[in-house]
Chain A
Amino acid sequence: MNLSAKMDGRGGIGLPPQTKTHSGMLRAHNISKSFGATQALDDVSITLEPGEIHGLIGENGAGKSTLVKTLCGVYRPDSGEIEISGSPITGWSPEVAIASGLITVHQDVNLIESMTVVENIFLNAEIMRGPLLDQKAMEAEARTLLDKLHLEISPKAVLGSLPTDLRKMVQLARAMRQKPRVLLLDEPTSSLTADEVDVLITQVKGIAATGVSVLYISHYLNEVFNYTQRLTVLRDGKTAWQGSTDNITMSEAIRTMIGGTLRTSMKRSAENQITSAPVLELRNLSLGHRLNEISFDIKPGEILGIGGLIGAGLGDLARTIFADPDYRATGGEIVMDEKIVQWDSPADAMNAGVGLVTNDRHRTGAIVDFSISDNIGLPSLDRFSSRFGVLNSEALKTEVESQMKLLSVKASGPLAALSTLSGGNQQKVMLAKWFMTNPRVLILDEPTIGVDIGAKQSIKDLILKKAAEGCAVIILTSEMEELADIADRALVLFRGRIVARLDKPGFSQEELTAAANASFEAISSTQTSDTSVEMIL
């Protein structure tokens, strides 16, 4: 983490001298940051006035996370300057950022589950009495913080025993205890209930009222429009709009986020409408509080898009349909070929003709140490084995090679380790792995995550081709452009519920984005005449 500080050779930490005023204020000038050929941030400037709540919005990949990580010292910018309270920061690292009073509440809860609430709040900043921990003082202070947040939990509760939303609040308590001058909140509400959102917002307003600057990053435009004074919209790493929140409407903001130009749709024409019976149907499928009575059906050859943002539950839905034991449905049923199925494991789903490309190549999708061939062959081992389990390596290799050719995977050969491939090619390997099982229903969870634009295009082509062969394809993604491009129909999830059904071709990226942000005012104003949008809530 502090590698960047070491690498710049200066070694010394360039803490700004304490200024007279204690008010927080952050200025970032002309920040640019690239990763290889990708320009993640291009000349972005942002100023946080003392006491201001500043919203930061943008589509996935617009550069929000990169900006946050740059501000909080994880990434070192290629160029540009950052000042806190008027003093430039050098030797940028997370430690320097925290020491300068710039505190970040990251999107993921990064606390230690096996420790208590009070231990987490004071981690690495414990109150000491001589050489010993001052338990009483810490507990008392934790109690005060928790009271402020209306949290009726014991400071001695073990964090792991708390639900996700409360953990998030503990994270906020920890941030408050660190006495921020600038507070960065990255998607603070994505796992919270409506009541908790209110409490959080009240606290954030209270913190801001003491002169702390707050940068509020959120997918939820309602919150951003209600609670921020100024707004920055990022698009493709550039500042697309910046100004007072009062000077822009929600629909204008959405249009700014996605860019005015609409790309040519790759969608099939309307006469391609599929009329056969559905191959897969979900009836009120639920997963605890995470998915709420999801129903839809899909016909052979159809591409069904399911859009939603972080916290919408897309990944949960994919794993629930695929009968992952860790995501066992708590209600509803899955119907395949007009029969209710009883799947106990992914193996059952797979044998019924379902395939799943997960949203995380490294953790759930592939074994990067393994060769391309071993990865692609994984679900097909039994099919390529004799009755006694002897693997027909030659047949497998031939099939793997033909899949690699079909998907134009660029690699030295089928025996190359997956880790040597680019993200786009790794993603193609994950597709190939399931294409080879000849699925009748293919679930693609964020199929173009972390791949470059060229690979994105060819992955979309492959999906269309697969659908043309009669495979029913479910695409779950937060990239609305992708859905607008290739989906025949679309659903939008918001916090585990279907909030919109766009059943006729011709829906736009704007409609999808608006629904995913739960902005119904915006969706009705952007609705085009030939689409029907069914609104549920």
Chain B
Amino acid sequence: MNYLISFGRRNLNIIQLILVLLILSGTIYGMNPRFLSAVNISNLLGQMVTLLIVALGMTIIIINGEFDISVGSLVGLTGAVMGWVLVVMPAAYASPFWEAHPILLIVVGIGGGLVVGPALAILSGLLVTQFLIPSFIVTLGMLMIARSLTLVVTGGQPIAGIPEGLKAFGVSRPVEIPIPFVDAGLRLPAVFLVAVLIYIAGWFLMNRMAFGRKVYSVGANPTVARLAGINTTRVKLKCFAIVGLCASIAGVLNVMRIGAVSPNSGQGLEFEVIAAVVIGGTSLMGGRGTVLGTVLGVVIIVLIRNFLNLARIDIFWQDFATGAIIMMAVILNALQRRVSGASS
């Protein structure tokens, strides 16, 4: 019993989020029973993948005490680079080599995409750590630069003609979870399974590896961390690399899922990502937050969006509602901290 209480106290935030989730799901189900249908849930899981993966990187960098608001642009630029390598380049510079090696082309395309995010994010990180500029400003600049590059690379036009194999992977739903008393089980999208794997890695990184402890300590108090022999600059740069990598992975999966490259993909993503991370209980001051909380934060954001659609709320009012909910979540966190601070 005592263990249960202390467990509850330590995971208060998670328990609250789960409660919010249940209430939200119940409400939506009450409005439209189709919400809990296997098909709808499968669709929701596919749709949340981008948000989910980018939010993981954002969680880690915010715990580290920094910010990266360029993630949306990095998602877009990753897709653009991938599209350019896979479609534009073979068309412009037709060469028998690429025709003979389609698999190699795909590897180069995905690889090139996956390099873009980390490279630019590390560049932001270097500016932040070497010139001691607030990461908010640096990554705001990077947001604009990467978006501009996306338009340059794509020529401002969508790129179609992504190889069929990639598209097929993007829409495949290989795993079926049987649901009792229902014929069709819940089919999990392949891209969602990738996200799950990434989260397992992220959780392990933050909770079972020395690096995770360093990230938390640098975010909580960089001086203490430095005086404990931790190379705070290196930790910060790694966090930037991780958030960039997450954005790139999300960008690659996004292209596969949609089957085309859009020059606007990822635009405005940073707002939803930060909202999900904050709702998940991560402190913007650094040093505090959990990977699991972010998962729940993302699901809540996606459900709210789904709810607003189902409730036929005027599209103009939808961001109003999301904004208000974010504010409530932050106020709730602040109140909680005040209460727990007063009792200790």
A→B interface (CB under 8 Å): 322, 324-325, 345-347, 349-351, 356, 358, 363-367, 369-370, 374, 377-379, 381-382, 384-385, 389-391, 393, 417, 419-420, 433
Known: A322-B227, A345-B226, A346-B228. A369 touches B210 (CB 8 A): no
Say whether A379 contacts B228, CB under 8 Å.
yes
Contact between B208 and A393 (Cβ–Cβ < 8 Å)? yes
Given contacts A345-B226, A346-B228, are A369 and B288 in contact (CB under 8 A)?
yes
Roughly how many angstroms separate A86 CA and B88 CA in the complex, as a whole number?
90
Q: Could you say which of B210, B228, B231 contacts A433, with CB atoms under 8 Å apart?
A: B228
B211 within 8 A of A: yes
Task: Establish whether residues B210 and A385, one from each chain, have CB atoms under 8 Å apart when the complex forms.
Answer: yes
- A390 in complex: contacting residue of B209, B226, B288, CB < 8 Å: B209
Contact A367 B221 (CB under 8 A): yes
Q: Contact between B224 and A389 (Cβ–Cβ < 8 Å)?
A: no
- Closest CB in chain B relative to A348 CB, distance in Å: 8
CA distance A366 to B213 in the complex (A): 14
Excluding A370-B216, A378-B217, A379-B230, 8 further A-B contacts by CB distance (< 8 Å) are A363-B221, A367-B224, A374-B213, A374-B217, A378-B228, A385-B210, A390-B208, A433-B228
Quick one: which of B220, B225, B228 has the most chain A CB within 10 A?
B228
* Chain A proximity of B285: nearest CB distance (Å): 10
Please state if B224 and A391 are interface contacts (CB–CB under 8 Å): no
- Contact check, B209 vs A391: say whether CB atoms are below 8 A apart: yes
Chain A residues contacting B130 (CB-CB under 8 Å) are none
Determine the distance from Cα of A385 to Cα of B230 in the docked complex, in whole angstroms. 14
B210-263 at interface with A (beta carbon < 8 Å): 210-214, 216-217, 220-221, 223-231
Q: List 10 A-B contacts (CB under 8 A).
A: A322-B227, A350-B228, A351-B229, A367-B220, A367-B287, A384-B210, A389-B211, A391-B208, A391-B209, A393-B208
Q: How far is the CB of A182 from chain B (nearest CB, A)?
A: 36
By the criterion CB–CB under 8 Å, are B209 and A365 in contact?
A: no
Please determine whether A389 and B228 come into contact, CB atoms closer than 8 angstroms.
no
In the complex the two chains form, what is the Cα distance from A374 to B219 in whole Å? Answer: 14
Which of B210, B211, B214, B227 is A346 in contact with, Cβ under 8 Å? B227
Known contacts: A346-B226, A351-B229. The answer to whether A369 contacts B213 by CB under 8 A is no
Assess the B217–A367 pair: CB atoms within 8 A: yes
Q: How far is the CA of A346 from the CA of B231 in the complex (A)?
A: 8
Contacts of B210 in A (CB 8 A): 381-382, 384-385, 389-391
Chain A residue nearest in CB terms to B226: A346
Tell whether, in the assembled complex, residue B344 and residue A420 are in contact, meaning their CB atoms are under 8 Å apart.
Answer: yes
Q: Which residues of A contact B209 (CB under 8 A)?
A: 385, 389-391
Contact present for B224 and A364 (CB under 8 Å): yes
Contact at B227–A358, with CB atoms within 8 Å? yes
CB neighbours of A356 from chain B (8 A): 227
**How many contacts between A and B, using CB within 8 angstroms?**
76
B287 and A369 form a contact (CB under 8 A): yes
Chain B binding surface, main DSSP class: helix
- The interface residues of chain B lying within 8 Å CB-to-CB of A417 are 344
A347 nearest in chain B by CB position: B229
Q: Is the CB–CB distance between A391 and B227 below 8 Å?
A: no
* Nearest-neighbor residue (CB-CB) of B233 within chain A: A345
Q: Measured between C-beta atoms, what is the minimum distance from A132 to chain B in Å?
A: 33
Given A384-B210, A391-B210, A391-B213, check contact A378 B226 (CB 8 Å): no
A384–B229 Cα gap in the complex (Å)? 14
A460–chain B nearest beta-carbon distance, Å: 23
Q: Which residue of B lies closest to A379 (CB)?
A: B228
A379 to B227 alpha-carbon distance, docked (Å): 8
Contact yes or no, A378 B225, CB < 8 A? yes
A349 closest partner in B (C-beta): B229
Question: Which chain B residue has the least Cβ–Cβ distance from A381?
Answer: B210
Bound-complex Cα distance A378 to B208 (A): 14
Are A379 and B213 in contact, CB atoms less than 8 angstroms apart?
Answer: no
Bound complex: CA A367 to CA B214 (Å): 12
**A350 and B344 form a contact (CB under 8 A):** no
Closest beta carbon of chain B to A353's beta carbon, Å: 11
Interface residues in B275-300 by Cβ distance below 8 A to A read: 287-288
Residues of A within 8 A of B227 (CB): 322, 324, 346, 356, 358, 364-365
Alpha-carbon distance between A183 and B344 when the two chains are bound, in angstroms:
38
A contact residues around B217 at 8 Å (CB): 367, 370, 374, 378
Q: Judging by beta carbons under 8 Å apart, are A345 and B220 in contact?
A: no
* B213 adjacent to A363 (CB under 8 Å): no
Scoring B213, B216, B227, B231 by chain A CB atoms within 10 A of each residue's CB, the highest score goes to B227
Q: Is the CB of A364 within 8 A of B223?
A: yes
CB proximity of A396 to chain B, nearest CB, Å: 10
Q: How far is the CA of A385 from the CA of B209 in the complex (A)?
A: 7
Q: Enumerate chain A residues within 8 angstroms of B212, measured Cβ to Cβ.
A: 391
| A378, B217: Cα distance in complex, Å | 8
Which residues on B sit within 8 Å (CB–CB) of A385?
Answer: 209-210
Return B12 CB to nearest CB of chain A, in Å. 14
A420-B9 Cα distance, complex, nearest whole Å: 15
- Tell me the complex Cα distance, A379–B225, Å: 8
CB A504 to nearest CB in B, in angstroms, measures 34
Q: How far is the CB of A319 from chain B (nearest CB, A)?
A: 8
Q: What's the Cα separation between A13 and B50 when bound, in Å?
A: 60
Query: What 4 pairs between A and B have smallest CB-CB spacing?
Result: A350-B229, A381-B210, A378-B228, A385-B210
Check if B224 sits within 8 Å of A366, measured CB to CB: yes
Chain B residue nearest to A377 (CB atoms) is: B213
Contacts of B208 in A (CB 8 A): 390-391, 393
Given contacts A374-B217, A378-B225, contact A347 B211 (CB under 8 A): no
Quick one: which of B74-95 are within 8 Å of A by CB? none
A346–B221 touching, CB < 8 Å: no
CA distance A11 to B288 in the complex (A): 39
B211 in contact with A363 (CB, 8 Å):
no
Q: How far is the CA of A356 from the CA of B228 in the complex (A)?
A: 8
Q: How far is the CA of A278 from the CA of B309 in the complex (A)?
A: 75
Asked whether A378 lies within 8 Å of B344 as measured between CB atoms, the reply is no
Instruction: Determine the distance from Cα of A379 to Cα of B211 in the docked complex, in whole angstroms.
Output: 12
Q: Which residues of A contact B221 (CB under 8 A)?
A: 363, 367
Tell whether, in the assembled complex, residue A346 and residue B344 are in contact, meaning their CB atoms are under 8 Å apart. no
Specify which of B223, B229, B288 is in contact with A379 (CB 8 Å cutoff).
B229
CB-based contact B214/A381 at 8 Å: yes
On chain B, the residues within 8 Å of A358 by CB distance are: 227
Indicate with 1 or 0, residue by residue over B157-173, a CB within 8 angstroms of chain A CB atoms.
Answer: 00000000000000000
A346→B227 CA distance, assembly (Å): 6
Bound-state Cα–Cα, A389 to B214, Å: 11
Task: Give CA–CA (A417, B340) in the complex, Å.
Answer: 12
Given the complex, which residues of B lie within 8 Å of A374, measured CB to CB? 213, 216-217
For A420, the closest partner residue in chain B by CB is B344
Interface string of B290-317 (1 = CB under 8 A from A): 0000000000000000000000000000
The chain A residue with its CB closest to the CB of B211 is: A389
Residues of A near B225 (CB, < 8 A) are 378
Q: Which A residues touch B211, using CB under 8 A?
A: 389
Q: How far is the CA of A505 from the CA of B287 in the complex (A)?
A: 46
